[in-house]
Structure 1
Amino acid sequence: MDTHLRDLRYFVATAEELNFTRAAERLFVSQPALSKQIRQLEDGLRTRLFDRDRRAVTLTAAGAALLPAAREVIRCWDEAQRVVGDAVAAEAALLRVGLSTSVGRGLLRRARAGYAVRRPNGRLRIRQIDWDDATAGLAEGEVDVALVWLPLPNPDAFATRVVATEPRCVMVREDHPLAGRPSVEFAELLDEPFLALPSSAGPLRDYWLAIDHRGGRPVRVGAEVCNADETFAAVEEGSGIVLLAAGNAAIYQRAGTVAIPVNGLSPSELAVAWRVDDHRATVRDFVEAL
């Protein structure tokens, strides 16, 4: 038979009180209801657990044998509930944050500090996602919020708030003919081989290739790149040039490459994004912390 935990709780209370009236009061149930559950337990076990007469209630040998086992089952279940509760609380306090590049700009530092004020027991787990997913893990549910570059694919699925607006630069090899210039016009770059995000990045690939500013001129793709390390290694190797935000130009500046401001392009937008159907307070607190 399958015995309900409630039946064991009723049995233990009665065994400890050895009085149906007191046990019923302890359990906040009526005495008839308690007596019925005890009878059902006895019927299921096919043995009496209590000897009853008008003067006393005593445990039978079977009841005495069941008592320690019943206490242990109840203890184990209570412990299991506690462990699950702790896990749920820990999960609720954990917020997964997706990134595609190092965001710098002091954003994560300020976000951590602000989030800690709102949620002293909260934790942030940062996940780095390659550029084949322009949502930095949001679309697949790998993260709860993400710092992303706009535009996003399937934008109706996400809420966004812009946290940085910056002009675009171009990164070239230090021996590139344009490397010594203080700035360049985008028209001067039209025939250059560009490094491109994977096709799965959707509109973000087109954005960093500046398709809207080419006047119909086709783009030359020198190579496809999936992350920052691949990108700047490809620039150093001479596979192509790449557009990037001014803030990222400062973060990723390295020997052998030069970043030059580009005129004639719309500014880039870095945003915090989350799923439109995610209304959790933890998500709201992180967004507000930024």
Structure 2
Amino acid sequence: MAMTADVHVRDLRYFVTVAEELHFTRAAERLYVSQPALSKQIRALERQLGVELLRRDRHGVELTAAGSALLPHARRVLEAWAQGASVMAETRAEQRGTLVVGMSNSPGRGGLLPAIRSRFTAAHPEAAVRLRQVSWDDPTAGLADGDTDMAFVWLPLPGQHRYAWTVVAEEPRLVALPDTHPLASRPEIDFTDLAEEPFLALPKSAGPLRDHWLAVEERDGRLPRVGAEIASTEETYEALVAGLGVCLVAVGNVPLITLGGLVTRPVRGLAPSRYVLAWRKGDRRPLVRAYAEACRRVTERVPGMPFRPPDMATTSHDDTG
């Protein structure tokens, strides 16, 4: 079996997803990869194993005899790996008594993090909280691959059914645009007036979150024009100032980009955005529960703070009790 020695878990996950969908485009969407990249990986796996796993023709995709034989074993490997990764994450966390909290940029919002930290530390003085900055390529801020225990993220998340969360803020989406833009003089802008504008977009790997910040749902099936892709606050500011496109931004993030030359305006016709503290469903470790509880208490207790949304502070999507 030397030929299989270097097969990656990722390649097995790609194979299983295509086998389940029997459709490369749908499988690619589920995996948040491009369809050509997925096809290339499957072909590489077939070369490595020396067999054809999937037969492609104009009618679609079907499993070969070899593919059917491999599928149940590949599923078992993926399940065992997921269990192993979960146990390793728990062991790491127990060894260090540290909670790793991910985020794509600092939440700000009126001192949210220090307030949660002081409440959490009062209950668990022996525990440490480590904040980890995660690139915008990963909308789960490290939750998906186990790099973080909890994360401040925006909904919707890829694989959202795998997570529980408590809502930190529900905020309107504003539009940021250069102060020289023809629409900048309006105190409020209707989304229909923005629909044809080029927009700045998150990386494709952000999946449903990219669509949310492009307001795909509000476009009645018309595709957005993407002027540039952005993967950091700095890139967003530079692209806006350069006139590459306009950009939707949550109220709480406005301070991150309102440097010279830009304005933000309210937009009519857009649903609000939801900012949450999320964790993996079924993670019942005491530190995870305690940090979630501290977050809930802080967003309830400080009515003057901008991160307390009306009637939302106690709303959570939480199966951990």
From 236, 246, 253, the equivalent of 2:251 is 246
Identity %: 49
Instruction: Name the aligned partner's letter for residue 191 of structure 1.
Output: E
Within the candidate set 195, 217, 241, 1:236 is matched to 241
CA contact (8 A) 1:246 1:261 kept: no
1:183 partner letter: E
Return closer, same or farther for 1:281/1:195 CA change in 2, 3 Å cut-off: same
- Indicate the residue corresponding to 1:205 in structure 2: 210
Structure-2 separation of matches of 1:275 and 1:200:
19
Q: 1 CA distance for matches of 2:186 and 2:117?
A: 38
How far off is 1:160 after superposition?
A: 1.2
Which string of whole-angstrom CA distances, capped at 9 and with x for unpartnered residues, describes residues 69-103 of structure 1?
xxxxxxxxxxxxxxxxxx97984421111001221
How far apart are the structure 2 equivalents of 1:142 and 1:245? 26
1:39-87 deviations in Å (ceiling 9; x for gaps): xxxxxxxxxxxxxxxxxxxxxxxxxxxxxxxxxxxxxxxxxxxxxxxx9
2:260: which partner in 1?
255
Which residue does 1:118 correspond to in 2?
123
Letter in 1 for 2:234: D
Aligned partner of 2:99: which letter?
L
SS in 1 for 2:266: strand
TM-score, normalization by structure 2: 0.61
State the distance in 2 between where 1:174 and 1:159 align: 40
- The residue that corresponds to 1:93 in the other structure is 97
Asked if the contact 1:104–1:251 (Cα under 8 Å) also holds between the matched residues in 2, the reply is: no
Q: Which runs of 4+ in 1 moved over 3 A?
A: 87-92
Residues 224-271 of structure 1: per-residue CA shift (max 9 Å, x gap): 111222111111111111101011113431111111111110011000
Of the three residues 98, 104, 110, the one matched with 2:108 is 104
Cα distance change of structure 1 residues 238 and 267 upon mapping to structure 2, 3 Å threshold: same
Supply the AA of the counterpart residue of 1:185.
D
Distance in 2 between residues matched to 1:177 and 1:89, nearest whole Å: 52
Gaps of at least 5 residues in structure 2 are 1-90, 296-321
Report whether the alignment pairs 1:275 with 2:280: yes
Q: Does 1:265 align with 2:265?
A: no
What secondary structure, in the 3-state scheme, does the structure 2 residue paired with 1:179 have?
helix
Which residue does 2:168 correspond to in 1? 163
What is the rounded CA distance, in whole Å, between the counterparts of 1:115 and 1:258 in structure 2? 37
Structure 1 residue corresponding to 2:180, chosen from 175, 181, 194: 175
Q: Give the Cα–Cα distance (whole angstroms) in 1 for the partners of residues 281 and 223 of structure 2.
A: 35
Single out whichever of 88-97 and 236-245 deviates more from structure 2.
88-97
**CA, structure 1 residues 89+175, in 2 after alignment: closer, same or farther (shift >3 Å)?**
closer
CA 1:90–1:175 in 2, change beyond 3 Å: closer, same or farther?
A: same
Aligned counterparts of 2:181 and 2:93: Cα–Cα separation in 1: 55
Letter in structure 2 aligned against 1:97: V
Check conservation: 2:93, 2:99, Cα contact below 8 A.
no
Kept in 1, the 8 Å contact 2:233–2:256? The answer is: no
Q: For residues 264 and 113 of structure 2, what CA distance do their matches in structure 1 show? A: 24
Task: Tell me, in whole angstroms, the C-alpha distance in 2 between the residues paired with 1:100 and 1:121.
Answer: 27
Instruction: For 1:204 and 1:179, locate their aligned partners in 2 and report how far apart those are by CA, in whole Å.
Output: 26
SS in 1 for 2:182: coil
Q: Distance in 2 between matches of 1:246 and 1:168?
A: 6
Residue segments in structure 1 that go unaligned for 5+ positions in a row: 1-86
> What is the correspondence of 1:1-290 to structure 2 with a 5 Å cutoff?
91-105=95-109, 106-290=111-295
TM-score by length of 1: 0.68
RMSD over aligned CA atoms reads 1.6
Q: Distance in 1 between matches of 2:243 and 2:92?
A: 50
- CA drift at 1:200: 0.8
How far has the Cα of 1:122 moved from its partner? 1.7
Mark the structure with the bigger radius of gyration.
1
CA deviation map 1:110-131 (0-9, x unaligned) = 1111111111122111111111
Describe the superposition over 1:203-241 as per-residue Cα deviations: whole angstroms up to 9, x where unpaired: 000000000000122210001111222111111111111
User: Is the CA contact 1:194–1:221 (under 8 Å) kept in the aligned structure 2?
Assistant: yes
Q: Give distance in 2, aligned partners of 1:223 and 1:257.
A: 17
